[in-house]
C-alpha cells in the first residue's frame, strides 16, 4: 500500500502499529565534524564529505542501514585524509623554510666580511 493511501480502520479495541522504516540498532553518526575538518584543512574533500554526511539520515530512515553506515564511514575517512594532507603539507613547508633559512644564513655569512 502506498503511504499516501488511507489504510482500513482497525477493528474496535485493536491498535495498529505502523511498520518501522529502519532496522534495529542506532543510527550511524553523521560525522559532520569530520566534514568540517575536511572544509578547514583541505577544502576539495569537503564537497564529498558534506554530501555523504547529509545522506546518512535519509538512508537510515529508508531502511538502507548498510548505505548509511558506508556514508558515515566515508565522511570520517575523508576528514582524516584532509587532516593528513594538511599535516604533510605543513611539515613540508616547515622543512622548506628551514632549508631556506639555513641556506640563506650560510651563503650570506661566507660571502661577506661584514658591514663597512
Q: For all residues of the chain together, what is the average pLDDT?
A: 83
pTM for the model? 0.69
pLDDT at residue 37, rounded to an integer: 95
Q: Closest Cα to residue 85, out of 47, 43, 50?
A: 43
Q: Closest Cα to residue 38, out of 55, 28, 53?
A: 53
Share above pLDDT 70 across residues of the chain, in percent, rounded to a whole number: 72
Strands (E), the chain: none
CA dihedral angle for residue 96, residue 102, residue 103, residue 106, rounded to 10 degrees: 180
Q: Which grid coordinates belong to 19?
A: 511498520
Helix/strand/coil for 29: coil
What does the pLDDT look like over 30-70, one tens digit per residue? 999 999 999 999 999 999 999 999 999 999 999 899 999 99
Q: Closest Cα to residue 42, out of 92, 91, 93, 82?
A: 82
| Helices H / strands E in the chain, number of each | 3, 0
Amino acid at each position: 500500500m502506498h503511504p499516501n493511501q488511507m489504510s482500513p480502520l482497525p477493528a474496535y479495541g485493536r491498535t495498529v502499529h505502523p511498520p518501522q522504516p529502519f532496522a534495529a540498532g542506532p543510527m550511524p553518526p553523521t560525522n559532520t565534524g569530520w566534514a568540517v575538518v575536511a572544509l578547514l584543512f583541505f577544502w576539495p574533500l569537503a564537497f564529498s564529505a558534506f554530501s555523504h554526511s547529509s545522506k546518512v539520515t535519509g538512508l537510515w530512515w529508508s531502511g538502507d542501514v548498510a548505505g548509511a553506515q558506508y556514508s558515515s564511514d566515508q565522511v570520517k575517512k575523508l576528514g582524516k585524509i584532509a587532516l593528513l594532507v594538511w599535516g604533510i603539507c605543513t611539515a613540508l613547508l616547515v622543512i622548506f623554510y628551514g632549508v631556506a633559512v639555513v641556506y640563506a644564513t650560510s651563503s650570506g655569512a661566507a660571502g661577506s666580511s661584514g658591514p663597512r
